[in-house]
Structure formats: structure tokens, C-alpha cells
Amino acid sequence: MPEICCPPPGEVRPHRNLRSLYLTYLLIIIWAGILPWLIPLTFFTPPDLILIITLPLLGVVIFLIWWTGAYYHTIIYRFSDAAISWERGVWWRQTGIVPYNRITTVDIIQGPLSRLFGISMLKVHVAGNEAGTESEAELKINGLTGAGTLKEYIIDQMRPCTEGK
């Protein structure tokens, strides 16, 4: 029985909840890493020093909030008949191509916060051979709501299509 080859999904961008997940990580870092030492510091140091410390911290937090949105908007995954191509990056653009015939496994990863936001990550393992040694690379497709469907598409593309033969 011949396999049915489905058309590629084209361009895939992460769900907007990925940005919310990144901002939640930032909030956790602020609550767990900054506030425990900043709040007691306010009781034992002069107000001028507190202002000198908190204004740069506030600037860094505002920058990270902006950067999170800018980074989110640069993430693009493109699926063709032969490969997955990706690009991302605010200042330094990163691009890559993963041919389907080099993919070894595809995993769906979903942590507790990702589950709360209804998104997951597809981890695509790619076999490589550099300088005679076997190495393992991976492509992480983050912020997916339909990771199972995309995983099945990639697995179908890993097998040779026998339609029409």
C-alpha cells in the first residue's frame, strides 16, 4: 500500500504564548533572584544608593521586556518537501537548514509552565558526521500548539514518499 505524502505546512511561527512564557521566566528571575536581596537592602542603605542600584536594574528589565518581543517576532520555521529551514535573532541573525533525511528522532517537550500556556517544543535530533566522529545536533521548534501534527508531518517526510510509483 503506497504512503500518502502530505503537502508541507509552509511557514510556521511560534504561538504568541511563547512570548508570555518568556516574560513569565523573567518575572520568576526577578522575584527569586533580585527581590530577596533588594527589599532588605532598602531598609539598611541610604535612599540615594537604592536609587543608584534600582534605576539600572529597571532599565535592564525594560530592555529585556522589549528584547523578548523583538526576538519572538524574528522566529520563523519554513517546511519544504526536502528540509526544514529556520531563522531567528534580533541583532545577529541565525539561520539553518535541516534536511529530512538527516533527522533521527523527533520529541515533544512540554514543561509545567509551557503546559499552563498551552504550548510545547518539538526537538528534532539530527545526525551529523564531523571530522570522522559521530555528533548529534538538534533543532528546537518552540511555541507550538499543534506539535503532534507537526511531528507526524516530519516523521512522514523522513520516510521516502512512494506515492505514484
Lowest mean pLDDT among 35-39, 69-73, 108-112: 35-39
Rg (CA), the chain: 22
Q: Which pLDDT value is given to residue 78?
A: 94
Give this prediction's pTM.
0.78
Q: Which pLDDT value is given to residue 112?
A: 95
Does residue 163 have a pLDDT over 70? Answer: no
Q: Which pLDDT value is given to residue 135?
A: 54
CA 123 to chain centre: 10
d(CA 142, CA 42): 39
Q: Which pLDDT value is given to residue 76?
A: 95
Q: Which pLDDT value is given to residue 55?
A: 93
SS3 129: strand
Locate the DSSP E strands across the chain: 10-12, 76-79, 83-88, 94-99, 103-109, 120-130, 133-144
Lowest mean pLDDT among 82-86, 105-109, 126-130: 126-130
Q: What is the pLDDT of residues 22-31, one digit of tens each?
A: 999 999 999 9
Nearest Cα neighbor of 139 from 85, 90, 89, 93 is: 85
